[in-house]
């Protein structure tokens, strides 16, 4: 079975994180997420922690491609956010819900991320836009999946810029190349003609 790919992505909220909102490119973030899903769906298992903006987009693309998204994705959600789950959660057959720990956001997210990163073998993690959560996910992912590739799509801005500076060895094309389809095929080593065999 092919290894999974983890997606960490969000559009920064100007109220919660103005410093990341200043550099974020919301169009580039949406384009990069869309391109990633197009490249890997049905070829690698896509794993992510549910986000109200990301989840509907992934479902929509899966429908257009015509793959069985129940087999091609695995969505994780913390019950801490149960009042805010998008309706699209119900469309996914592979959803893991983790406990709300003491009604504490940070503890609940840590539990969800630990479960997510320990439950799969990952070949890569792709980071797009984002706020502080991007950096928290990177730290835990690197700890639990030390051999996986890390792909910070710097051109999308947000916390991903800080992540790339931490890594110090990111590829310059990730800062300048907006042809995300080609970028992901190249960096994730997925052939343009690779069949979508539903994993």
pTM exceeding 0.75: yes
Q: What angle do CA 166, 188, 49 make, to 5 degrees?
A: 70
Quote the CA–CA distance of 54 and 65 in Å, as a whole number. 17
- What residue segments make up the domains of the chain, in order of their start? 4-187
129 Rama sector, left if φ>0, alpha if ψ -120 to 50, beta otherwise: left
- What is the maximum span of the chain, computed from C-alpha positions, in angstroms? 48
Quote the CA–CA distance of 144 and 175 in Å, as a whole number. 27
**Amino acid 77: pLDDT:** 86
**Amino acid 190: pLDDT:** 95
**Amino acid 64: pLDDT:** 84
pLDDT beyond 60 at 186: yes
**Amino acid 134: pLDDT:** 92
Q: What angle do CA 74, 57, 107 make, to 5 degrees?
A: 50
Average pLDDT rounded to a whole number, residues 130-137: 93
Quote the CA–CA distance of 50 and 43 in Å, as a whole number. 20
Kindly report, residue by residue over 76-100, the tens digit of the pLDDT: 988 886 666 656 556 656 889 899 9
**Amino acid 156: pLDDT:** 95
**Amino acid 17: pLDDT:** 83
Which of 3-7, 59-63, 67-71, 88-92 has the largest mean confidence? 3-7
Sheet strands side by side (includes 95-98):
95-98, 73-78, 45-49, 4-10, 122-129, 149-153
- The encoded tokens of residue 89 equal 């959660």
Are 48 and 6 in contact by the 8 Å Cβ rule? The answer is yes
pLDDT beyond 90 at 117: yes
Q: Between residues 87 and 5, which one has the greater pLDDT?
A: 5
% of the chain at pLDDT higher than 70: 89
The residues, any chain, with a CB within 8 Å of residue 168's CB and separated by 6 or more, are none
CATH topology of domain 4-187: Rossmann fold (3.40.50)
Kindly report, residue by residue over 42-63, the tens digit of the pLDDT: 999 999 987 767 777 887 887 8
């Amino acid at each position: 079975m092919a290894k999974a790919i983890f997606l960490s992505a969000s559009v920064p909220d100007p109220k919660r994180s103005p410093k990341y909102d200043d550099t974020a490119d919301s169009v580039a973030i949406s384009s990069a997420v869309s391109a990633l899903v197009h490249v890997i769906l049905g070829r690698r298992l896509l794993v992510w922690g549910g986000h109200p903006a990301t989840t509907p987009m992934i479902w929509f693309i899966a429908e257009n491609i015509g793959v069985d998204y129940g087999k091609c994705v695995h969505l994780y959600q913390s019950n801490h956010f149960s009042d805010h789950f998008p309706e699209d959660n119900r469309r996914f057959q592979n959803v893991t819900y983790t406990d709300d720990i003491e009604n504490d956001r940070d503890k609940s997210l840590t539990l969800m991320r630990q479960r997510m990163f320990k439950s799969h073998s990952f070949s890569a993690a792709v980071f797009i836009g984002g706020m502080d959560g991007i950096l928290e996910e990177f730290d835990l992912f690197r700890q639990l999946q030390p051999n996986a590739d890390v792909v910070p799509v710097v051109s999308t801005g947000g916390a991903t810029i800080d992540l790339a500076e931490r890594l110090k060895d990111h590829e310059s094309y990730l800062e300048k190349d907006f042809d995300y389809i080609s970028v992901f095929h190249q960096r994730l080593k997925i052939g343009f003609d690779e069949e979508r065999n539903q994993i």
